Amino acid sequence: MFYFDYTYLVYVLPAILLAFWAQFKVQSTFKKYSSVMSMRRMTGQEAARRILDANGLYNVKINRVAGELTDHFDPRTNTVNLSESVYDNCSVAAIGVAAHESGHAVQHAVGYAPIKLRAAIIPVTQIGSNLAIPLVFIGLLLSYVELAYLGCIFFATATVFQLVTLPVEFNASNRALAALEDTGILGSEEIKGSRKVLSAAAMTYVAALAVSLMQLLSLLIRVSGRDRD
């Protein structure tokens, strides 16, 4: 049967705790540097516009979206979407986040390979995520190990997605920090604050990969154990 066992406690739970810590860290770091206003008093929207224009991306629109830390770049609409806590905020935290999302727009424009790969595997990942656990459950329930292994393969697609996401996010942050310096949007001391915010955000993606890897390992141990029975 598909039941809770030691593999979850030993492998998955520590990764989940890491994910909670990473989420707390990014929120607390963003809050801290949201109170540090940039000397130029440039808003997140204005910083994003300057970076996009500096890269010739005049056609990329910048939208305001609801929520906090809901910022994202949408390649389907070619828009940079900034949350309410970033769009009109002049803090080094907001500017760093806005620059990061602009970095994704630049990646998309120049054909950065990892972001193209991530976009290409999204449909497969969505299917795999929906089918993985049911297939493992049914396979173990019916002692049909091959079906359970197929579920593990489907789950692995989600892990691959998390793995591909890492270089995409780190590269976007590197592009953002370089752009903030090159355009003079932030001074050297201010960039340090933005870097800390982006570094904390990057840890959430590392934690997400760790959770996915540990869940996959837990599933494989469980299925292989049934295979030996």
- Tally of helices (H runs) and strands (E runs) in the chain: 8, 3
CA pair distance 201, 170, nearest whole angstrom: 10
Distance CA 98, CA 133 (A): 36
Angstrom CA distances, 118 to 57, 202, 218, stand at 21, 17, 25
Sequence-distant (6+) residues with CB within 8 A of 33 are 91, 92, 93, 96, 193, 194, 196, 197
Q: Which tokens is 29 given?
A: 């770091």
Q: Which residues are tagged catalytic?
A: 101
